[in-house]
Amino acid sequence: MARETIGMENDYELARALLEKGHVAQARTVLEQILNVDPTHLNATFGMGVCEHRSGQYVKAERLLRDVVKRAPRQYKAAYYLGLTLEGQGRTEEAVVALRHALRVKPNFSEAMAKLRQLQSKSGPAPHVALGDKLDGPEGTPLAPPFEGTSPSGALLFEGKRSSKTFAVPIVLLSLLVVFWLIVSFLLRNPRPLFVGVILAAATFALVVLLANSTRLRIYERRVEYQTGMLLRKVRSIWLYEVLDCEYSRGLWLLLVNSGKVTVKSQQNNNFHLVGFGDADFMRKLWDELRDSVLVERRSMKKWWI
């Protein structure tokens, strides 16, 4: 078995060398021999996908390359060739998703960045990249969901609503209102003012709860969506590559209720103030994750629209 494995690896190196020299038909023959012995051979599957792509057999290439990306999500070259294959079928949006996946794994992948520019300008073919070293295998966590049916925003990572206790102004007013009507009721020795105070306090509390339930945050892999308003809903959205900076802060009230605020600053000065979507530890982790994701997206998407 060991000799057979060594033999297949030597055959793969031969196929890779042939493919690098442009001898697609000869490389295909060698790769087919490997896959006849071991249909799950990851490197051979990748090489065969590249052969099919360069031969214009895009449907076959897509099937093979999707299999590689599914089993080895961190293999950026397989995602890159999948993007080229999808583009060859006229499926530009899906091609962009695949190329972005490659860039999330390797943000400085110049060929993928160049291809993204070309998809926008519709100019020129994408450069071929060398197969390079053998693929590492299936280890690794996917950085994006399967490409079928995937939106450019990526997978939904978090969805939550704002905690009602973080609305400082209504809660303070509610407390003052209750104290005021308690004092009036005591001074007048009349329960009616107290009853009115209870009604107003209940209405204020209901308003706070409605505000909390209508303030929602959705974080996708490449986009943040922020919804506010009760009767008039307002949904704001920002792509991570548009973010200039993220700040974490805790005012006096947020210290008292053990929460925090993340301010997302954008290029258009359209800042998001994400307040009270969890306790202080959660909000700080949210800030860390957003900051790191923004760095990756800005590196991978920098100036691609020019």
Over residues 286-296, the pLDDT tens digits come to: 888 888 777 76
Euclidean distance between the first and the last CA atom of the chain, given in angstroms as a whole number = 53
Can you tell me the mean pLDDT for 132-149? 39
Q: Which residue has the higher pLDDT, 6 or 80?
A: 80
Q: Report the pLDDT value the prediction gives residue 194, as an integer from 0 to 100.
A: 62
Token representation of residue 304: 């691609």
Which pLDDT score, from 0 to 100, does residue 149 have? 38
Report pLDDT for 84.
Answer: 92
Architecture of domain 156-301: Roll (2.30)
Does residue 5 surpass a pLDDT of 80? no
CATH dotted code for 2-121: 1.25.40.10
Asked if the model's pLDDT at residue 248 lies above 50, the reply is yes
- pLDDT computed for residue 219 by the predictor: 83
Residues of the chain with CATH 1.25.40.10: 2-121
Mean pLDDT of the 112-132 span = 65
- Sign for the CA dihedral angle at 275, 279, 283, 289 comes to negative
Higher pLDDT, 81 or 203: 81
Is it the case that residue 123 has pLDDT exceeding 50?
no
* Residue, of 182 and 90, whose pLDDT is higher: 90
Rounded distance between C-alpha atoms, residue 52 and residue 65, angstroms: 10
**Cα(202)–Cα(126) distance, integer angstroms:** 64
Q: Where in the chain is the domain with CATH 2.30.29.30?
A: 156-301
